[in-house]
Each structure stands twice: as structure tokens, then as C-alpha cells.
Structure 1
Amino acid sequence: MKCSKCDFENPADTKFCGNCAEPLHPAEEAPAPPTKTLQATPIELKTGAIFAGRFEVIEELGRGGMGKVYKVLDKEVNEKIALKLLKPEIAADEKTIERFRNELKFARKIGHPNVCRMYDLNREGDTHYITMELVSGEDLKSTITRIGQLPTGKSISIAKQVCAGLAEAHRLGVVHRDLKPQNIMLDKEGNSRIMDFGIARSLKAKGITAAGVMIGTPEYMSPEQVEVKDVDQRSDIYSLGVILYEMVTGRLPFEGETSIAVAMKHKSEPPQDPRELNSQIPEDLSLVILKCLEKDREKRYQSGGEVRAELEAIEKGMPTTERVIPKRKPITSKEITVTFSTKKLLVPVLAVLAVVVAVVIVLLLLPQKEIAKTSVAVISFENQTGEKSYDYLQKAIPNLLITSLEQSKYLSVTTWERMHDLLKQIGKEDVEAIDGELGFELCRMEGVGAIVMGSFVKAGDIFATDVKVLDVKTKKLLKSAQSKGEGVGSILDKQIGELSKEISRGVGLSEQKIEPSQLRIADMTTSSMEAYNYFLQGREEYEKF
């Protein structure tokens, strides 16, 4: 039985579509057509046609639950983009269109290499359409269907990129709600892109229970979505766990004859250990997947950053030959279909080129192993001077340390702004100072490896600053150091530089990797602590605005 919403072929006795969960109706029970439609049938765009006065149609890319997608040339900016024509039955619902318009305002803010950029929702005559970034390649579902279970290295590479895209979206307060392999594109260079942010919530697809409304696809739906509860970023983490499970085993964690049966299993049944289906999966990866699939969202990873950090740790323990590095161009169909006679002529040339390319790749890859970055976050410092006039140093010193540490190509430093974005995610945006326990919580959310905290004191004209570097997972002290000088100006003149080097040593950088040529922080910012304080105050006011 074909679904009227997404055209997916279902078994004759199925009551709900296995692709989109839309209720299915036998021909004799088909519901009456809606009284209000924008047009009887969706329009067809032919190659070469000009749509909406500016989009030249190149080819049709595909059809889905929302409508048809075309590759077009936007003649106003001379750029190729994707254009999605909404089905009339979707566009006829004014509330759906308004919801999507509002969601798009947030989704458009996401600018990330692993997220397909959404552009706009417009209308041409009776046809509503969406414009978005053009991503060439194959969706992950098609890849899994074609290949079956994917190699562990490839699965980790894809998942890491999805984590990065999710982390950025969640940072901006956008939750996908319908993350699935069909919404992940693998481009020709091996990069992963998340599609359709903002669409799931806008469509509000009717659920498989009469009482409520669910958003999502049953096979990838979190327990809270099944129960029609409010969702947050941890619902996307659950869906990511399902996708990882499917990549490494070639199967879904829960299957059933109907969509409602699958959804109920997500709510109540524990998943089978993926290692029972594929013994080649590292045990640590299996544990990561099962943690993503916890029924209780409090027991899951709390952010994409946490999952990515775990995957990176697993990847480091894998043989180099099993790791997958994105941005590798695959052979195109044109290259595969070259004639036999041409192949014979090219074999010697291609053999030489293959050797040269292999050598170049090895040479390019070797340095990357040296530039593996260590993640660090700096939290508020404690004022132990007994004078409130120096309270501004609680934020000034961490910000200066961050600026100094960011010069190192071997460190990945969490910015002060990012820490406050994380505070917003957990409803603590009004917190004035990020202390130890709160700092550890934020670092775990972001997947940071080391945390830096400290204090400062004043004895006469001498200012002294103490720092401690601790491992986020174990809370083990990695390094403690102190720097002091005459007057508050010494913080800029010498202390930040000295302490940055001690922090670098604390997180394990060798002396060769501690940049001797780093600029003095006073040369990068200002030589006046008072001026720097005014800068921080101005930045805070700007961010509030």
C-alpha cells in the first residue's frame, strides 16, 4: 500500500507508513479530500524552466514526504542551490506554514560545515517552496541499504561530524527532532551534513496515537517523543545512538510489524548489545551507543560534544589503517564507465599517479597526527584580596588566559562566550561566576578534557595569581602554578604569559610545542587592566542587546 504522504510502499496489512508513520487507508476507506487546497496536483518543473523569475531548473533531485526537490541555478546570485516544492496538502495548512516560517528563523542561524544551510520559505502563486544549500552526494540511509553495516572507522567518522553539527545547533537552541539517516547527506568528499533542521517541528506529523501529536520517525524516536513530552538536545542524542547502532550493525535496535510497535519498544524495551550483532565493534563503542540509547535522558550523554569526545578517544585507539579521514574524493560514475580501450592506455599512467598520490596522502596525514588538539576550558577565578574593587579580575584573568592559550595550534580552548551558551542550555544564564562544580558540569557537557581554575591575592603592592589544572573526568590535579608581580598591571605584563605556559605543560604539551614566540598578551589586547575591564563590560552589554 502506497503512503499518500511520502509515496513509500508498505505491506497491504500495515496501518501506518513505515517511513513517516502517516496513517494508511485502504482505497475503499480513503478519507475525503480536504475542502481547502491550494491546487489539485503539485506542479512539475522541467529542466531549463525558470521558476519564480530567478531559479533555472537543472534537474530533479528526489521526492519525499514534503514534496519534490530540484537542483536549480539562482540567477540573481549565479549560485546553484536546492529548491524544495511543498506538497499542496502541506502548504494548504496555514498554521503549518507559519510554524515553519518561525522555526526557519532559528534554523537559518546555524552556520556549520556539518549542517545544510536553510535559506528561505517563499511563495510563487499557489506554490510554497523552500530554498537551501545544495549538498551533492547520497543520504546515509541509502548508503546503509546499499552496503549493509559500515566499517567502524567510517561509522565513527560520520558520527563525529554529526556530533559537531548537533553541538552547534544545540548551542543556538535548535533541536532537530527528526534526526535519521535519511536526513544525513554524505557528500563526494566524505563529509557528513545534517539536513532539514526546523522542518520536523513545523510539520507536526500526526502521531500513531489518537490522543497526542508526535514529532519524529518511529524507528529513530526517543522515548520522550513517543510519550509526547517536551524534547531537548538529548532527544537528538538518542536518535544519534540509533543511527550509530544501525551503521555498525546494519540493523535497527528495534523492529516491528507496525510503527506503533516500534515506537513502544523505544519506550519500554532495552536494546540488544550491538556487539552481539557485530563482534568487530570495539567494546567502548558499544557502551557509547548504549548510553546514547538510555530511556532516561538524564542517563544519556548531555551534549554532542560529550559524544564526540568519547568517539575521538575510541578512534585514537584504533589502527591508523582503520581510521577514516573526511575530504577524500571518491571515484565518480564517469570515471567508472570509461571505455576498455581508454583504460588500457591509462593503466601505466594511473599506476604512477596512484603511487604519487599515496605518498602525498601519507605526507599530509603524518603532520595531522602531531597536531591533535587538547581541549581546555578556563572558569572564573576567586578574588582573595578582600577588596571588591578587584572583583572584575574574576572574569578578566580567565578571558586573558583564553586569549593567550588560543595562540597555540595544539590546544582547543573553550571560549567564555561558549561557556555562557552552555549555562543558558541548563537554565543558569544568570550565574555571575562559574565555580568548580558548575565548571566541571559545563566541561562534561562540552566534552572538554582539562579545566583551569584559580585565585588571586594582594599583599601590599604585590599581586599573585594561582592556577590549577585538573582532569575533567577524574578531577585529578595535573598542574599547579603561581605567578606574581608588582601592581595589577603585572597580570598583563608577565603573569598571563607565564601561567599560559604552565597550563600548557599541565595538559601534557612538550616544551617543543609550547610556543616560545607567542605574542605578549599586552601586545594582543591592551597594556591597561582598566581599559580591558571596560572592554569586557562593553562586550557583556552587547551580548545582552
Structure 2
Amino acid sequence: MKCPKCNFENPADTKFCGECAAPLPSSEEISAPLTETLETPKEELTTGSTFAGRYQIIEELGKGGMGKVYKAQDTDLKEKVAIKLLRPEIAADKKTIERFKNELKFARKIRHQNVCQMYDLNKEKGAHYITMEYVDGKDLKSMIRMMGQLSSGKTIFIAKQICDGLAEAHRLGVVHRDLKPQNIMVDEEGNARIMDFGIARSLKTKGITAAGVMIGTPEYMSPEQVEGKEVDERSDIYSLGVILYEMVTGRVPFEGDTPFTIGVKHKSEKPQDPKELNTQLPEDLNLVILRCLEKDKEKRYQSAGEVRAELTRIEKGIPTSEIEIPKKKPLTSKEITVSFSLKKLFIPALVVVALIIAAVVIWQILSPKQIASLEPAKPSIAVLPFVDLSPQKDQEYFCDGMTDEIITKLSRFKGWKVIPRTSMMRYKNTDKDIKEIGQELDVVTILEGSVRKEKDDIRVNAKLIRIKDSISLWSNSYEKKLESVFAIQSDVAGKIANALQVELSPEEKERLAKKPTENLTAYDYYLRGRQYYVRYRKQDNERAIGLFKKALEFDPDFALAYSGLGDSYGQRTLKFGFPNTWLEASIEASERAIALNSDLSEAYKALGLAYFGKGWSRKSIKANQKAIELNPNNVQATGNMGWTYLWMGEFEKAMPWFKKTLALDPTLPYSYYQMGTVYRYLDDYAKAEQWLNKALDLQPDFPEAISGLIMCYLAQGEHQQAVEQSQKLLAMAPDGFRALNIAGFVELFSGNYEQAQQYYQKSIEIRSIMENLTNLGYVYWKKGQRDEARKLFSQSLVLCQKQLEQGSEFSAAPYYIAAVHAIQGNKEEAYKWLKKAIDSGWRNFRLGSRNPLLENLREDEQFKQMMAQVKEMVDKMRRKIEEKDY
């Protein structure tokens, strides 16, 4: 309100001027311009009264364009709300009310920490009113009046938040149309909130508000608004430019005696350069403001995101003393309250004092506290295992399935970091608090939840928590029939994306809404199968296969069940030592899953693993790349990429994938084992042992890590340590295929042929492969049993040739062919195949130089040159990796 004596701008509800203390006319005495946001309400609610049977009126907050606004206590929900009571003449217009209803449908979709939440439009005894979130703070207009020009740091800090709120509204197709500092509240923590999307109109519903009606406040209206034309989000960008101008200069770019005069200036006059009014203004910020104020909307920034990006860039160049740091991150709806006005003042002498005190308080709130980056990190989340609250406590598999499915849905969002299930299940029934878990996993948010399942009824509670301050960003309870389980999973993932201000692509939304199956019995069997599959034990693998097949009996087109079979079949060969025929079964099941659902990342991962087992490196990479494209957080696919490149001998390509796996799954021992393995192949045994021991710190009985240490010791000639570790491995699995092979290899290196023979014979009883056939043949050869040795060599060569005929691109087959010839003294053939092995990616020169299988070549100059050649390759890759500081 402008003082008639000194022209000082005062808050709307102030009775005395803050500059000269002169009495101010009441709002009813002022003849307001007839724009939709400046008219005066007539109806009033009394403090202490109960309105609409549930709202206890606390105080009047202010007067908006559509009516008066009150602070009230919602006695039903036990929380404070703001109530906007519409003027009777506005409420009497049925078309206007219908327009509000339509607009509110869109406005209610905006759920963002920088937007005040709109609730409902209701009617009580002929009076229409809107309920909205209640936010405690001061409007930006009052701040500017009190403080004058804001610093560049404060301006950028507030403006970035406004951009974030606008970006979310624009994403949903909602334009504000009356953006002004009076509609932007700043709370005690310095968090900005955009108010009053009540006059917004959907871009997709033309005709709800007729073109030609002036909607907005003249000082902040875009040229196209002034002309009564249709507007889009770029109109809000113009209004944002006016606000930025006012923040840095203390005045609006255009003023006038009437709305018409101001409007003409918006259309035709060039604004005074803000830098002329504020010489401390950075030139880049000056240019951003002027671009926002372009008359031609095509020349403005085309989105709020573009403006924010520019502000972020500029912020990096301003003095650190000016960078604004919030006391804490913005709160969410239901945790923030709104106050529109200063306390009512009763004597003129106190007005100036109050304003000075308020200015000091706001300055303290918004002044720099420390130096830190304000750039938001990419969304990162960990989903804790959902708790089983079912009466019989027999739904753990269902709760784990709920956890798994939500993780999977979130993982498909590009640009997110989502901790995979393998890490999260370690926190089942944990006593650790969320801050400790967040630090261990390096995430910003955690989702926790519970499931209560009884017959066909399900109740799911979910809560998203920001770890830094334990604030709930979103929560909800679902009480549904079991048939709604997929809708619940999708809704939780979608609401999390919304709470974390992530815009999903149309493709992501489509995938999110897709049901895995229409048959709940099939889904139940699938979840039970997953529970067994992830235990990675032989007996559980067989149970998983049976349950996945059972699921397919109820839904023959259940893609996830086929994908589960593909995974399980592949594991039978690669982990449990079953014949390669299971790899073909894996490929068939995985391809069937893909045919049913081409968006299924899990199926491509299973297919890639089977291809890897067959030695088809290029196909494996292609399948895993597709899996990662569909789900960037598919930790198994990223690991498989690393292993494929490792076996191809391209360690510099393997390392980034293993590093990504570690970042995605930082508590999984296998992540550290992979890092140890790549360093072992890089001939850096100190680092290899360091990583492998980290894996064992997490899981002391982790067989793969123990095997990796054994290979390190053998390569370095530390036989006794290798023997000790191999015995530890055998103690864990006396009849284990891997344990027997490694124990036999250790004894072969040590020259203990009798013991080596026993281990390899047991191993071959389980499964014959190139490795154990060739190594046992060497033992017989050294013992003088040449006929037995040649039989084993012949069997090994058959397997090697079969692999090559089937298209294997890895080095194992040519390496063992070379070994067979080397043992028998056929050096020409040995070198021919050893070269093929090197060409196919064999790089283990350190272990190869010590391997007894190649002892007949050891003193040859040709062998030494070949090993030197491989060493040079490895050294070159290691240097490249060291340059990247892995």
C-alpha cells in the first residue's frame, strides 16, 4: 500500500506508514484497478470461530485478488491450513466457479517443495472457499521493501528455487499467470515457495479462461498478457525477469499511474539496464535478467530450467562471501506454514522499529553461514527391506518382492543412483539408524515401508526420508485389494520421483505403469522363486527353477518368470558347474522373455550372462548394454560388462564398469572382488590384495575373494600362503567344484602331484572342463603315466575345439590348446596357439610365466619375447588407468 504523504510502499495490512508514520487509508477506501488480483473481498470470518464445521479461524492473513485469506486450524487433520474466502460477486458467477474447479484440478497436481500446495474448492452456506497449505514466512515483496537491493548471492539463491517450482508446474502444463514477489513466500530457513496457482490455466485445456481477459498484476505482466493473448510458460519467465530486476535494483522496470500505462510500457519500452541501478551487479546476471524481459517470447529463455542453469553457472563466479547457504534444505508440504502479513501494529512510533527489527532478522536468516555447493546432487535412494506386519509373519517373501519391485522401478529412471537389492537385504532387521545407513551407501534419501497382507487385502505404508535432517519428503498409506499391488508399486515409485523433483520421460511413465502379469497366483510363485534364486546356492537354484515354472503354468506369457528361468539356468553352468547345455536353455528362456516384453532389463542381463558363458563377447556386450539402457542401475549388467571386457583383455574398458558397480553396490563383497581381480590382471598385486581383503572384511567366507588371493600368491611365488588359503576354501566346501580345482592347481604349482591328482579326479567326477582335464593330464605326464595323460589331453582338445566351433571369442580355449602342446613338447603348435590366445585377450603373463604347464617354453627366447609383449600391453593399460585415478 502506497503512503499518500511520502509514497512509501507499505505491506497491505499496515495501518501506519513505515517511512513517515502517517495513517494509511483502509483497503476498502482505495479504488483498486479492475484486474483480477487487486479487487477487495467483502466477506469476513471471525477469529476464534469455526468455519465449515472443521476449521477454527486463527487470524486474517491478508487480502488477495479473489478474497481474504485466513490462517486456520483443521480440527480433522490436526494441522494448520490457509483458507481463501472468495468474494460473493466472484462466487456468484457459475462460470468462474467452474473455471476455478478446472484450474484447481491442475494446480493440485503440483507437489513440489517450492510450491505451496493447493487443496480443495468447497462451499459453505453459500460462501465458496479454497483451502491450501499454510506456510510461515514473509513475502518476497516485503523483503525487498525492507532490505532494498538484494545481493547477487541472495537473489540467485531465491531465484533458483522459484525456477525449480516453476519448472515442476510447467512440466504439468500449468502456467502461473500472476507471478509476483507478493506470491512468493520465504520461510525462516530461507526456502522460497510460490503461492496462488489458483488463477493458473492448463495449457492443454484452452477455453477454460477466455482469451482477452486481463489476468495478472500490471507491474509483472508479460507483453502477451497485456494484449490479452494466449500465454505459455514463457510468460512466467517474463514475470520472473521482472522479479529478478526488482530484487537486484529495489524497483520494478516499469511503473505508471494506471494499469494501461504500465501495460503499454511492457509492450513498447525497453527497460533501463539494471546494472545502471546496481553497479555491483555481475554482467552475466544483468544479461540473464534482460533476456527474461525480451518483448518477443521466442527470444526469452524457453524454460525455467534454462534460467536455473544460467543462474547456477553465474553463482560459481560470484564471491564466496555472497553465496547463500540455507539453514537446512527446503521442507515439504505439511511441514511448512505460511503467514502473509506482519503483526498488527497499534501505534505509529513502533512501525519503524518493527520494520528495522524485521529487516535485521531476515538478513540474519538469509546471510551466508558457510561455503558449500548449492547444486542438487542427482537423485540417490536406498529402499530398506519392507517390514512384514502380517498377523502370521509369513509374508517375508512378499515383502521382499515389494522391496525388489520398487527398487527395480526406481532403477529404471535415468540419472538416478539406486542401491540394488543385494546391498539392501543386508539391512533387514538392522539396528542402524538411517543416517548411518545413508553414510554407508552414500545416498541422500531412504525409503522405508511395511506390508500387512491378509488373504486378499493388503496395507502398504511407505515413507521417503531425507537423511541429512530426517525430514519426511513424502509418505502414504495404501489399503487396497491384493489385485492393486502393481498399482501401489508404480504409485510409490512415481511419487518418489515427484518428491525428488525428477521429470520422468513418457517412456519411463509408460514402463512404470506396465503390469508384469494379470495373474496374482503366477506373481506369487514368481516372488517365491526370486526368494530362492537370490540365495545363490545349488539347492535353492533348483527350487527357484521349479517355482518359476509353476508361475508359467498360471501365466504362460509371464515375461519376468522366463527371465528368472534364464538367470537360474545360466547360474547352473557358471556358478554350480553344470554342463553348457544349461546355457542354451538360458538363452532360450531369456529370448522368450524379451519377445514377451522388450523393455525387460532383467531378461537382457540374463541373456548377456549366457552369451558370456558361451564366450560370445560381442553379443554379451550388446545384450548387457541394452539391459543398462533400460535400467541404468542394473548392477549385475554393469558387472557383466566389466567381466566381458576383462576376459577380452581390455582392462581399461573393464575398470569403469567395475567402478560403476562399486558405486551402485558399495556394501556388496562381489564389488570389491571385481576390483581386486582387475588389479590382479593389471599386475598390481598390492592393490589387488587390498581390494580382495576389503571383500573379505565384508564377508570372511567369500570363496571368490579367497580364490583371488590364491592366484595373487601363486603369481608372486608365495606358495605356502596359497596352500593355506586353498585349505580354507576346501574347509568351506569339501566337495565344491571351484574349491577342488583351485586346491589341485595350488598343489600342481607346489609339485605335490599325488594330492593334486586326488583333487582333480574329484573335480572331473562333477564336471569335465578344459582346465581340470589339462591339469590332471599334466600331473599324469609328470608321473610318467603318458597314456592316461594323452587321453585327458585328447578330451581337453575336443572341448577346446567345440568352444571355438561354437564361436567362443575368449582366450581360454586357445590357451589350453597351447598348454597341451607345450606339455608334450610340440613347441611350434604351442606358440601358434599361444599367439592366438594373446590375440583373443590372454594377458596373465605373470602367472603364465610361472605356470608349470608352460615350463617347456620358459627358457625359449620366443616365449620370453611373447611374455614381454604381453607385459607391455598390461603396463600400458595400467598407466592409462592410473592417469584416471581409479
Structure-1 separation of matches of 2:68 and 2:117: 18
Deviation at 1:253, TM superposition (A): 1.1
For residues 32-181 of structure 1, the aligned pairs below 5 Å read 42-181=42-181
Distance 1:254 1:421, change over 3 A: farther
Residue matched to 2:313 = 313
- Larger fraction in helix: 2
* Distance (Å, rounded) in 2 between the aligned partners of 1:268 and 1:109: 36
Is 1:420 aligned with 2:432? no
Q: Which amino acid aligns with 2:289?
A: I
Cα-Cα RMSD: 4.8
Distance in 2 separating the partners of 1:217 and 1:404: 40
SS in structure 1 of the partner of residue 65 of structure 2: coil
Counterpart among 665, 682, 685 of residue 519 in structure 1: 665
Letter in 1 for 2:158: I
1:17 pairs with one of 24, 33, 48 = 33
Out of 604, 621, 635, the position equivalent to 1:484 is: 621
Change (3 A) 1:499 1:166: farther
* Residue 222 of structure 1: aligned partner: 222
Amino acid paired to 1:181: P
Asked if the contact 1:186/1:192 (under 8 Å) is kept, the reply is yes
Aligned 8 A contact 1:71 1:134 in 2: yes
Structure 2 contact 169–175 (Cα < 8 Å) conserved: yes
Instruction: Determine the C-alpha separation between the residues in 2 that align with 1:421 and 1:307.
Output: 26
Cα deviation for residue 494 of structure 1 reads: 6.2
Q: Is the 8 A contact 2:119 2:133 kept in 1?
A: yes
C-alpha distance in 2 between matches for 1:265 and 1:258: 11
Distance in 2 separating the partners of 1:416 and 1:112:
10
Distance 2:44 2:31 in 1: 30
Residue 239 of structure 2: aligned partner:
239
Structure number with higher relative contact order (C-alpha < 8 Å, ≥ 6 residues apart): 1
Q: Deviation of residue 261 (structure 1)?
A: 1.4
- Cα 1:122–1:404, aligned 2, differ >3 Å: closer, same or farther? closer
Q: Which amino acid aligns with 1:484?
A: I
Contact 1:15 1:258 in 2 (8 A): no
What is the alpha-carbon distance in structure 1 between the residues aligned to residue 243 and residue 138 of structure 2?
16
Contact preservation (8 Å) 2:50, 2:56 = yes
> Is the CA contact 2:312–2:375 (under 8 Å) kept in the aligned structure 1?
no
Q: Which residues in structure 2 correspond to 1:441-520 (within 5 Å)?
A: 462=616, 464=618, 484=621, 496=638, 516-519=662-665
Where in structure 2 are the equivalents of 1:261-280 lying within 5 Å? 261-280=261-280
TM-fit CA distance, 1:369: 3.8
Distance (whole Å) between structure 1 residues aligned to residue 56 and residue 217 of structure 2: 33
1:69 Cα shift? 1.2
Amino acid at match of 2:286: S
Give the letter for the 1:288 counterpart: V
Contact 2:62-2:68 at 8 Å conserved across structures: yes
CA deviation vs aligned residue, 1:456-491 (integer Å, no higher than 9, x gap): x999984659xxxxxxxxxxxxxxxxx937888986
Distance in 1 (CA, whole Å) between partners of 2:327 and 2:103 is: 31
The aligned residue for residue 346 of structure 2 is: none
Aligned mates of 1:122, 1:298 — CA distance in 2? 39
Q: 1:153 to 1:20 in 2, by over 3 A?
A: farther
CA offsets, 1:178-232, max 9 Å, x none?
1011111111221111011132559xxxxxxxx9322211111111111222111
For the Cα contact (< 8 Å) 1:200–1:215, is it kept in 2? Answer: no
Distance, in Å, in 1 between the alignment partners of 2:289 and 2:501 is 29
CA gap 1:150/1:462 in 2 versus in 1, 3 angstroms: same
Letter in 2 for 1:402: K
Partner of 2:287: 287
3-state DSSP of counterpart to 2:197: coil
TM score, norm. by length of structure 2: 0.38
Maintained 8 Å contact 1:80/1:134: yes
Match of residue 402 from structure 1: 414
CA contact (8 A) 2:37 2:66 kept: no
Once the two structures are TM-superposed, the CA of residue 319 in structure 1 deviates from its matched residue by 1.9
Describe the shift of the 1:318–1:18 C-alpha distance in structure 2 as closer, same or farther (beyond 3 A): farther
Q: Does the 8 Å contact 1:401/1:496 carry over to 2?
A: no
For residues 267 and 301 of structure 1, what CA distance do their matches in structure 2 show?
Answer: 18
Q: Equivalent residue of 2:132, what SS?
A: strand
1:411/1:123 CA distance change after superposition, 3 Å? closer
Distance 2:416 2:201 in 1: 42
User: Structure 1 pair 493/212, CA: closer, same or farther in 2 (3 Å)?
Assistant: closer
CA distance in 2, matches of 1:415, 1:189: 20
| Aligned AA (2:132) | M
Partner of 2:743 in structure 1? none
- For the 8 Å contact 1:171–1:421, the answer to whether it is kept is no
Higher relative strand content: 1
- Asked if structure 1 preserves the Cα contact closer than 8 Å seen for 2:245 and 2:289, the reply is yes
Shift of 1:102: 0.8
**Percent of aligned positions that are identical:** 58
- Deviation, 1:257, is 2.5
Q: Secondary structure at the match of 1:418?
A: coil
Q: Give the AA of the match of 2:414.
A: I
Deviations 1:272-310 (A, max 9, x none): 211011011101101111111111111111111111111
Which portions of structure 1, spanning 4 or more consecutive aligned residues, are displaced by more than 4 angstroms?
A: 6-10, 18-24, 403-417, 421-424, 457-465, 485-495, 497-500
- What SS is found at the alignment partner of 2:123? strand
Between the aligned partners of 1:268 and 1:371, the Cα distance in structure 2 is 37
Which moves more between the two structures, 91-100 or 42-51? Answer: 42-51
C-alpha distance in 1 between matches for 2:416 and 2:640: 10
Q: Name the CA shift for 1:322/1:74 in 2 (closer, same or farther; >3 Å).
A: same
Q: Check 1:317–1:132 CA distance in 2 against 1; reply closer, same or farther (3 A cut).
A: same
Structure 2 vs 1, CA of residues 370 and 106 (structure 1 numbering), >3 Å: closer, same or farther?
Answer: closer
Q: For residue 519 of structure 1, what is the amino acid of its counterpart?
A: D
Alpha-carbon distance change, 163 to 214 in structure 1, aligned in 2, over 3 angstroms: same
Look up the equivalent residue of 1:516 and give its one-letter code: L
What stretches of structure 1 of length at least 5 have no aligned partner? Answer: 25-40, 203-210, 335-356, 376-395, 425-456, 466-482, 503-509, 524-545
Contact residue 223 and residue 267 of structure 2 kept, 8 A:
yes
Deviation at 1:43, TM superposition (A): 3.7
Q: 1:46 to 1:270 in 2, by over 3 A?
A: same
> Which structure has the larger Rg?
2
Structure 2 SS opposite 1:402: coil
Partner Cα separation in structure 2 for residue 108 and residue 130 of structure 1:
12
Q: Deviations over 1:478-533 (max 9, x none)?
A: xxxxx937888986676645889x9xxxxxxx99x96734239x99xxxxxxxxxx
Alignment of 1:279-428 (within 5 A): 279-327=279-327, 368-369=372-373, 373=377, 402=414, 418-420=504-506
CA contact (8 A) 1:18 1:258 kept: no
State the match for 2:724 in structure 1.
none
Distance 1:131 1:21, change over 3 A: closer
| Structure 1 residue identity aligned to 2:230 | D
Q: Tell me what 1:532 maps to.
A: none
Q: For the residues of structure 1 that align with 2:33 and 2:508, how far apart are their CA atoms?
A: 38
Is contact 2:122-2:130 (8 Å) kept? yes
SS where residue 59 of structure 1 aligns? Answer: strand
